[in-house]
């Protein structure tokens, strides 16, 4: 466990042991914006592009064809225009598709196809009023949507483009360029703010919301409000670069990158990557729905990230439901694992070194919850945790010595078959401070349980932290308070009577629960003498 968590617990012990206060019911019900993701992985082959249609559904171009979203899946859509689609875009009325040198649009009458020169490769399509912009490997086309007449600007590969006001902005491997919407010569841009000055290169993401221009390049990201630039690097909070695409709306922007999606809400940056958010971290394309939901196309599938207003109480309730579904074992809140990655139905509950500590942390949250809301459910949850932690002390033969964890005696696999004497000796060779003790899971005196020994100092921090809160904010009757006092007294007596140490069933101190002056000032404990000293003072204060 990290020092930060230990110090947080200790700070809580010192604060909560002051006189208890009646906070009364809380009326605070402020909401915040919570993002969550749904993943769709049904189509075979890479997802190359995604376009949102006016009703909020997404049409997806995969190597295996076109698909359309429903509430919980992607289903096959209709036949495509007859070529492999790499780019999809919807202008509010018509779906457009591009691939290779071919362009097509679909209206009520079906697909209409248009061929460009065979040496042309369409890389992106966007709409600006009655105009369509097409980025290609040989310049930029700015055309009338109906007639497809217009202008061609430049002759180099266009990596990104957008329009702001009367200007067309083009991103290339070497420059950020602009020209008027009527054509003319290209102007190379150098951007600067009060900290940076760039001649951007590898400009692979451009987007406009009508009043701001957003750019992603090798050097970082930047936004232009029509008057001045603001530049972002990692120092300004930009989580990642290596951009692939961008979409902007209402002063906010989503960037796709080679390793996740990046979001800026106007005030702060967020990073969306990994299995929680995306089927694959390489973002090929993204599209924003009218309600702000963003659809993200990746090689492994599509992600739908939506935002909703939520209160902390509502979010806490969701966590409580998850805990109830798969995190209670006996009277402890513990971690669970999955036999199949990402499949919640395959979860199973295991034991850990820190079942007591982490259950105490959960119990502390319920004590705070009860203090703030007087919710009887919070009290019952805290009482259940207290019952579990009390049993950790009762299951061992040493008064005041709580076990790390406890499991039924018939648990499979028996952990003692894994932590054998041979394994202990090997651990000792690799780690000289390892406590060589067997069995590490002794059997309780009634034969019903195995309990884990070698309890550490951080476990004890969790116990004392919770007991102080439970006594002040949950225990109400004289009997309830006496039960807490008696347990804390037994634990404290054990520590003090054994020279400020936890003494295990072998008669020797545990590896970490040693606060004696000899240890903290000796060669093995001096590095942690500060935190160990604060710990023991906090325990005695409780």
pLDDT tens track of the chain, all 542 residues?
444 455 455 555 555 544 444 544 444 578 999 999 999 887 777 899 999 999 999 999 999 899 999 888 899 998 899 999 999 999 988 999 999 999 999 988 789 999 999 999 999 999 999 999 999 999 999 999 899 999 999 999 999 999 999 999 999 999 999 999 998 899 999 999 999 999 999 999 999 999 999 999 999 999 999 999 999 999 999 999 999 999 999 999 999 999 999 999 999 999 999 999 999 999 999 999 999 999 999 999 999 999 999 999 999 999 999 999 999 999 999 999 999 988 899 999 999 999 999 999 999 999 999 999 999 999 999 999 999 999 999 999 999 999 999 999 999 999 999 989 999 999 999 999 899 999 999 999 999 999 999 999 999 999 999 999 999 999 999 999 999 999 999 999 999 999 999 999 999 999 999 999 999 999 988 999 999 999 999 999 98
d(CA 170, CA 154): 9
**211 vs 166, 185, 206, 216, 263, CA distance in Å?**
12, 24, 13, 17, 18
Choose among 440, 348, 448: nearest CA to 391: 448
Q: Which residue has the tokens 């290779």?
A: 100
d(CA 347, CA 339): 6
Q: Confirm if 492 and 540 have CB atoms less than 8 A apart.
A: yes
Q: What is the pTM of this model?
A: 0.83
- Domain map of the chain by residue range? 3-17+313-541, 159-273
**328 vs 375, 384, 458, CA distance in Å?**
20, 11, 21
Please tell me what DSSP assigns to residue 443.
B
From start to end of 91-194, where are the E strands? 95-99, 102-107, 110-115, 122-128, 131-136, 139-144, 150-153, 160-164, 167-171, 176-180, 183-188, 191-192
d(CA 49, CA 87): 5
Q: Which residue has the tokens 């997404």?
A: 58
User: Following DSSP, what letter does each residue of 467-503 receive, concatenated?
Assistant: HHHHHHHT--SHHHHHHHHHHHHHHHHHHHHTTSEEE
Q: Is the dihedral of CA 198, 199, 201, 203 positive or negative?
A: positive
Topology adopted by domain 159-273? Methylamine Dehydrogenase; Chain H (2.130.10)
């Amino acid at each position: 466990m990290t020092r930060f968590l230990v110090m947080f617990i200790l700070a809580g012990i010192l604060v909560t042991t002051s006189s208890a206060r009646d906070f009364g019911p809380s009326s605070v019900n402020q909401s915040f914006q919570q993002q969550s993701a749904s993943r769709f992985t049904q189509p075979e082959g890479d997802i190359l592009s995604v376009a949102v249609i006016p009703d909020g559904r997404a049409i997806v171009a995969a190597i295996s064809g076109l698909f359309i979203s429903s509430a919980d899946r992607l289903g096959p859509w209709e036949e495509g225009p007859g070529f492999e689609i790499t780019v999809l875009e919807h202008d509010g009325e018509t779906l457009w598709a591009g691939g290779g040198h071919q362009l097509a649009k679909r209206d009520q009458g079906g697909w209409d196809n248009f061929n460009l020169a065979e040496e042309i490769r369409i890389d992106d399509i966007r709409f600006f009023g009655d105009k369509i912009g097409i980025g290609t490997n040989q310049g930029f086309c700015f055309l009338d949507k109906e007639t497809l007449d217009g202008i061609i600007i430049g002759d180099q590969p266009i990596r990104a483009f957008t329009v702001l006001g009367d200007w067309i902005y083009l991103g290339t491997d070497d420059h950020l360029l602009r020209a008027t919407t009527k054509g003319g010569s290209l102007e190379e841009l150098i951007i600067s703010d009060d900290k940076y000055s760039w001649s951007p290169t590898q400009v692979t993401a451009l987007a406009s919301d009508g009043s701001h221009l957003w750019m992603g390049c090798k050097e970082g990201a930047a936004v232009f409000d029509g008057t001045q630039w603001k530049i972002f690097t990692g120092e300004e909070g930009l989580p990642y670069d290596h951009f692939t695409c961008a979409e902007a709306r209402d002063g906010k922007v989503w960037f796709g990158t080679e390793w996740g999606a990046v979001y800026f809400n106007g005030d702060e940056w967020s990073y969306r990557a990994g299995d929680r958010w995306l089927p694959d971290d390489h973002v090929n394309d993204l599209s924003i729905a009218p309600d702000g939901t963003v659809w993200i196309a990746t090689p492994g599938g599509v992600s739908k990230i939506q935002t909703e207003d939520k209160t902390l109480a509502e979010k806490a309730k969701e966590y409580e439901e998850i805990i109830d579904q798969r995190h209670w074992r006996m009277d402890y809140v513990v971690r669970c694992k999955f036999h199949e990655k990402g499949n919640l139905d395959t979860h199973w509950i295991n034991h850990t070194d820190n079942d007591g500590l982490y259950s105490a942390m959960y119990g502390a949250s319920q004590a705070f919850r009860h203090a703030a809301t007087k919710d009887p459910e919070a009290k019952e949850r805290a009482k259940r945790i207290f019952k579990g932690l009390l049993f950790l002390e009762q299951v061992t033969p040493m008064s005041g010595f709580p076990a790390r964890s406890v499991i039924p005696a018939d648990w499979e696999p028996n952990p003692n078959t894994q932590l054998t004497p041979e394994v202990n000796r090997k651990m000792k060779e690799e780690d000289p401070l390892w406590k060589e003790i067997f069995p590490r899971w002794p059997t309780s005196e009634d034969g019903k349980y195995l309990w884990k020994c070698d309890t550490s100092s951080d476990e004890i921090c969790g116990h004392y932290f919770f007991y102080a809160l439970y006594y002040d904010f949950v225990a109400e009757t004289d009997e309830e308070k006496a039960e807490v006092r008696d347990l804390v007294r037994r634990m404290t007596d054990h520590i003090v009577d054994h020279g400020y140490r936890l003494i295990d069933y072998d008669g020797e101190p545990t590896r970490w629960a040693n606060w004696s002056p000899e240890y903290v000032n000796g060669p093995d404990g001096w590095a942690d003498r500060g935190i160990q000293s604060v710990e023991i003072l906090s325990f005695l204060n409780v």
